[in-house]
């Protein structure tokens, strides 16, 4: 198929190659001309404007947007004037599902079909086989299914239902991911504080062979310990990019008790600080009623 690809960062460049591998035609655009040049080397047709990109495609057009979450609206705004009824816009970044629903509705007014695709598997996945969950209209899905199937790992794609369902599913995926990572981390912290002297790389390896907790995250744990056996070189600061927070916020809106996912998020926030005001208040209170010594700065 012929696909218009907008956004040629690390993810987009890898996906473009993946599409080309599977004999799809790629018309590529990025605001950075050198990225377009790079994409052309792999066989893509490069264009120099949003307008040109849209006009280089046949109706119904298929346009795959692979840009930072913050600029999705800008990109959609740029291409919208040139789109025609029946065109399909795929947004495969990490947008909030409510924004995707909104975009779906906005484009629907023009007869343009918007699809929200949650993409998992990292750069390696984008290049050689990703995992997709996709929301949008079933008739649009019929058309675009081949390009998802071709660029995913086997069984690594799911049409999840109506608009928003793809990004919702990806959001929850990341919520689970946060908690699983914390579970592994906490387990190793207990080991680290114990009276025993474990080789963590070997522990992760044995846990990946036959145990109940074998998982890709545990394999990555094994990799990480193979490079730095006690993780002495890094700090335990846990940043987050938003989907875990969205999961918790959504759970609150749905009145769903998700303590495990929620605590994994809160401990990420806690890790961003050296000291806490909560701690100061509690320490001060202990001093007030019990005369317990406080630690002065």
In contact, 39 and 26? CB cutoff 8 Å: yes
| Binding to its own copies, residues 57-116 (CB under 8 A) | none
| Least distance between its own copies and beta carbon 265 (Å) | 7
Mark the segment that binds its own copies (CB under 8 A) among 51-59, 63-71, 82-90, 279-287: 279-287
Residue 261 within binding range of its own copies, rule CB under 8 A: yes
Structure tokens that stand for 14 in this block: 């890898």
Q: How far is it, in rounded angstroms, from Cα 217 to Cα 180?
A: 8
Q: Is the dihedral of CA 64, 69, 72, 75 positive or negative?
A: negative
Q: Between residues 84 and 199, which has the closer beta carbon with respect to its own copies?
A: 199
Q: What is d(CA 158, CA 156) in angstroms, rounded to the nearest whole number?
A: 7
Which residue is it, tokens 């007030």?
Answer: 288
249 is an active site residue: no
Neighbouring residues of 103: CB distance < 8 A, sequence distance ≥ 6:
72, 73, 76, 91, 95, 114, 116
Which one of the listed residues 38, 52, 99, 177 is annotated catalytic? 177
Name the one range near its own copies by CB under 8 A: 45-53, 77-85, 137-145, 165-173.
165-173
User: Do 67 and 7 meet the contact criterion of CB atoms below 8 Å apart?
Assistant: yes
Residue 277 in the binding site for its own copies (CB under 8 A): yes
Closest to its own copies by CB, 43 or 129: 129
Of 74 and 252, nearer to its own copies (C-beta) is 252
Q: Taking CB under 8 A as the rule, does residue 12 contact its own copies?
A: no
243 is catalytic: no
As a whole number of angstroms, the distance between CA 188 and CA 203 comes to: 9
Cβ–Cβ under 8 Å, residues 221 and 184: yes
Considering the complex, what minimum distance in angstroms separates the CB of residue 119 from its own copies? 10
Binding region for its own copies (CB under 8 A) out of 20-28, 31-39, 102-110, 211-219? 211-219
Q: Which residue of the set 91, 170, 222, 245 is catalytic?
A: 170
- Which is closer to its own copies, CB of 108 or CB of 230? 230
Q: How many CB atoms lie within 10 A of CB 223?
A: 11
């Amino acid at each position: 198929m012929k696909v218009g690809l907008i956004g040629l960062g690390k993810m987009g460049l890898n996906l473009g190659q993946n599409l080309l591998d599977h004999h799809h035609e790629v018309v590529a655009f990025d605001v950075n001309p050198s990225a377009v040049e790079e994409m052309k080397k792999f066989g893509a047709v490069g264009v120099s404007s949003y307008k040109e990109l849209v006009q280089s495609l046949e109706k119904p057009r298929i346009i795959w947007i692979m840009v930072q979450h913050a600029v999705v609206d800008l990109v959609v705004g740029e291409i919208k004037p040139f789109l025609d009824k029946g065109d399909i816009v795929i947004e495969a970044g990490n947008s909030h599902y409510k924004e995707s629903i909104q975009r779906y509705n906005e484009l629907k007014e023009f007869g343009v079909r918007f699809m929200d695709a949650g993409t998992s598997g990292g750069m390696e996945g984008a290049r050689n086989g990703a995992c997709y969950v996709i929301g949008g209209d079933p008739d649009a899905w019929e058309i675009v299914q081949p390009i998802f199937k071709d660029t995913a790992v086997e069984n690594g794609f799911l049409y999840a239902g109506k608009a928003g369902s793809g990004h919702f599913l990806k959001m929850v995926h990341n919520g689970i991911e946060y908690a699983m990572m914390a579970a592994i981390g906490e387990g190793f912290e207990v080991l680290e504080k114990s009276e025993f002297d474990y080789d963590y790389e070997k522990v992760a390896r044995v846990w990946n062979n036959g145990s109940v907790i074998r998982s890709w995250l545990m394999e990555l744990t094994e990799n990480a310990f193979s490079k730095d056996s006690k993780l002495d070189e890094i700090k335990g600061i846990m940043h987050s990019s938003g989907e875990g927070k969205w999961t918790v916020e959504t759970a609150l809106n749905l009145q769903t008790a998700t303590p495990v996912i929620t605590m994994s998020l809160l401990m990420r926030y806690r890790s961003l600080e050296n000291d806490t005001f909560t701690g100061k208040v509690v320490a001060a209170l202990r001093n007030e009623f019990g005369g317990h010594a406080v630690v002065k700065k």
